[in-house]
Every structure is written in C-alpha cells, then in structure tokens.
Amino acid sequence: MNDQSVELLVQQLAPLTGKCLIVADENWASTAWNAVAHSGTSQRVLFSNRDEIARGAQATGMEAQFNDFDFSTLEPASFDHVLFRVSKERAVTHHIINCASALLKDGGQLILSGEKTDGIKTYTDAACQLFGDSSRPQKNGIYYLSIISKYRVSDDPLDDKDYTQLRAINTKPTLLSKPGIFGWNKVDQGSAFLIGYLPKLLERYPAGDNAKSLLDLGCGYGYLACSANEFGFERIVATDNNAAALLACNANFNALGIAGVVVAGDAGSELNERFDTIVCNPPFHQGFNIDSALTEKFLSATKRLITSRGRALFVVNNFIALEKKARDYFSCVEEVGRSGSFKLIMVAHKP
C-alpha cells in the first residue's frame, strides 16, 4: 500500500526544474520508481537508508545511494530541491533538515510531507526557523505538504541527538547503537527472551548433529548475533536492510572480535547459503496484519535459508498468529515459550 504522504511528494516532482534530492526511508517502500525516474525534466538523486529502495531506484537508471543518510559526498549548496517524507523518529527528521540547510542553494526549497500525527506542523516550524522562512503546511485531507525556502541558515541547528555517532548502550556485553535503528537505545525484551531460550533450542538437535552456523535475520544493531556468539557457532551471519543497523552490527562484531559477516539485504534477499540455526525478532508490531506480505517475506526467506535439519526461532507478540501462517511453509511448527507479551515460535522442515 502506497504511503499517501509519499504520493504528495511524488506529485510535486513533475513540474520541478534543476537538481532534486529525494531522501527515502521505509515509507517509500511501495513507490513506483520507474514513474519517479521518468516524469519531468529535473535531475534526480536518491539517498536511502533501505537497501531494497536504493536497488529499486538504481534499476530504473536513477542515481541512487544506499547509506545511513550520509551526504558527505554531495557538494554543499548544489541542490534546488530536497524532498523528504518526515520520519517516525525525530532524530532522523532533524538530521535530514539540518543536512538540507547545507545542501540547498540560496532560495532552494525543502519539501516536507506527513500527517499531523507525524509532527509535520512542528517540523515545518523548526525548518522555517532554521531557514528564515514563514511558510505554513498545506492540508490535503489528513496529509500535509510544506514547501520551505532557504533564505538564511540559523547558527543553531536542530537537535538530532548526534545522529551520525555510534554510542554505547546498556547491554551485556556492551554494544554500540545509534538513532535510526528501531529500539536503538535498549535491549528489546523479546530479543532477550529469545536468547534466554537458545540453549534449549540447541539441545533439540539430533545427537552428534550440532548446529554450526547461525543467521540473525533482521539483525538491528546485532544483539541476537552477538549474544549467540558464546554458543560456539563456527559461522555467524547477520543481515538487515537498514544502513544504520549494518553500521552498528559491523562495529559490534569488530569490538567483540566476532568473525561474523554482515550482509545488506531485505529479509536475507542477498544470501545464497543455508544455516543450521536462524534467529529472528521480525518487525511485526501492533496493528500488523498477519496476512500481510511482510509475514510472507520472512517465512519464505527462512524456508529458503534454513538447512533440512535446521531450526528457526522467532519471537513475536502474543497476538500475532505467526504459527498459523508458518504451517504453509514448514511441517514442524511449535510454540516453545511465552513470557509477558511475547511468545517463541520454532519452525523446522523436520521434527
């Protein structure tokens, strides 16, 4: 389903001239990039922190980069327009607005969109104060569009929580994380529950058939993979589509001396090997529809990436009937634990 705030931005593209920077996060996941690439005459550059979005844009011939919103390769004051659908995370949106102030030419426009509940009015006010403008958001149903011109740049940038910097968080062992990663500043309770059960899972492998490889599917900053390292896996691979997560996970592997591999990809899309053990705390949150494509994506990936004798362990909220859908993919599906609002679902090709 297309994000209507993104659609508002796409509609602005056709008449624009000059050089445009499109800043795309997960809200752009359903965008028809071929239409974006070939409507209008402006030069378009895309930066995304999601691997599959950057790949999709590149496939149309667009100039696109995948990174953690690192614009250091771009020339200051070189863009006529910057387009951004405000993020769910304040630090991300403040970082983009701050960077836009440096990347836009004098008189250039920052074009923001979002819903009232996303804080679009607050972000517009903050950007106007930074840019010396007084524009107001334009209402389109429940969606808003703001076009903010750069007249000057204030000496006081918006507080982005030092967005670009990795920092230690309260974990054992100490791990690094940063804004831009879901739950970046804490240990997710579901992930901790999963790791607590992992020794019991490993006991369920047939005698003499120990699990040698582990995949952390949707790794975030790498908590599951780093915690699982103590169980003697010979090969550990972590994968995520989020650039910030990949940076943090790589840093944690290096800091802890884990000889693991971190791979960019959407639900393991770039992996071609199979694993004895897969652990996953998928991005299923309240309001998630169990019949959605996201469930299919993670279960299909697990089926493809697990060995014939392997075991996969998911942690999900109790209200998510993952086990029901998993039976379309695996002959062995079992709830192996509950704690608070979480449950653990084990899947395998064989008992």
Other beta carbons within 10 angstroms of residue 81's beta carbon come to: 23
- Helix/strand/coil percentages in the chain, nearest 5: 30, 30, 40
Q: Does one domain contain both 174 and 142?
A: no
Q: Does one domain contain both 201 and 344?
A: yes
Q: Give the span between the Cα atoms of 173 and 31, in whole angstroms.
A: 39
pLDDT in tens, 96-154: 999 999 999 999 999 999 999 999 999 999 999 999 999 999 999 999 999 999 999 99
How many Cα neighbours within 13 Å face the side chain of 203? 4
Question: Can you give the pLDDT at residue 209?
Answer: 76
Q: Give the span between the Cα atoms of 154 and 267, in whole angstroms.
A: 41
Domain of residue 52: give its range: 4-149
Question: Can you give the pLDDT at residue 287?
Answer: 44
CB contact burial 128-155 (16+ within 10 A = b; e otherwise) = bebbebebebeeeeebbbbbbbbeebee
Q: Does one domain contain both 206 and 232?
A: yes
pLDDT along the chain (351 residues), means of 10: 92 96 96 91 96 97 97 98 96 98 98 97 98 96 97 96 96 94 94 97 84 97 97 97 98 97 97 97 64 85 97 95 95 96 96 86
Q: Which two tokens stand for residue 175?
A: 């791990």
Question: Can you give the pLDDT at residue 208?
Answer: 66
What total number of domains does the chain contain? 2
Question: Does residue 317 sit within a domain?
Answer: yes
Q: Does one domain contain both 247 and 318?
A: yes
Q: Does one domain contain both 100 and 190?
A: no
Question: Can you give the pLDDT at residue 2?
Answer: 84
Total-model pTM: 0.94
**Coil, helix or strand at residue 125:** helix
CATH number for 74? 3.40.50.150
Q: Which two tokens stand for residue 74?
A: 């771009």
- Given a contact cutoff of 8 angstroms between Cβ atoms, the answer to whether 239 and 271 are in contact is yes
Quote the DSSP letter at residue 86: P
Residue with tokens 């493809």: 304
Residue closest to 328 by CA, chosen among 297, 287, 300, 289: 300
CA dihedral sign of residues 95, 98, 104, 110: positive
Question: Does residue 156 sit within a domain?
Answer: no
- Given a contact cutoff of 8 angstroms between Cβ atoms, the answer to whether 161 and 179 are in contact is yes
Q: What is the dihedral of CA 135, 138, 50, 126, to 10 degrees?
A: 30
Beta bridge partners of 334: 346
For residue 175, what is the enclosing H or E element?
A: strand 175-177
Q: Does one domain contain both 124 and 183?
A: no
